[in-house]
Amino acid sequence: MGVTLAGMQSPRGRSAVPAPLLASLLGSVLGLLVLAASAALWRAGLHQVAGLSAEVILLLALTCVAAITVLAQPTRMRRARVPISRAVPHQWWPPAHDPLPTLAACMGGPIAAGAGAAALLFH
């Protein structure tokens, strides 16, 4: 069996989904899940728990997106002590291909929207 790497074919039926789209879809599903869970708690008579859990998830989603965005930067950029009148050297610029903050925003935005809607509705 002499199969070479160049002769291999990709499996049929699979398509590549862009990571930001996949993160947005997953975030939307999780946001709807948060809204549904808060609605179920509200309907069960746990009014304060429904509002409080929605607020906690909203703050957690926003905090995680902010932390990922800040911590994804290179250490040199976070510790930079450059005077205001000077330009930041090119070596300190974050890479243009870093997808982590984008993915965090794509996933955290819908979660925060669902939790914010639940917090407004059930508080």
pLDDT of residue 99: 78
Alpha-carbon Rg for the chain in angstroms:
21
Higher pLDDT, 14 or 70: 70
CB 50 within 8 A of CB 42: yes
CB 21 within 8 A of CB 89: no
DSSP string, 37-61: HHHHHHHTT-HHHHHHHHHHHHHHH
Mean pLDDT of 81-108: 75
Question: Does residue 9 have a pLDDT over 70?
Answer: no
pLDDT of residue 18: 84
Whole-angstrom distance, CA of residue 35 vs CA of residue 32: 5
Q: Which amino acid is at 8?
A: M
Question: Does residue 7 have a pLDDT over 60?
Answer: no
Residue 29 CA, chain-centre distance (Å), reads: 12
pLDDT digits (tens, 9 = 90+) for 21-42: 889 999 999 999 999 999 999 9
Phi and psi at 2, nearest 5°, equal -100, 70
Average pLDDT, the chain: 81
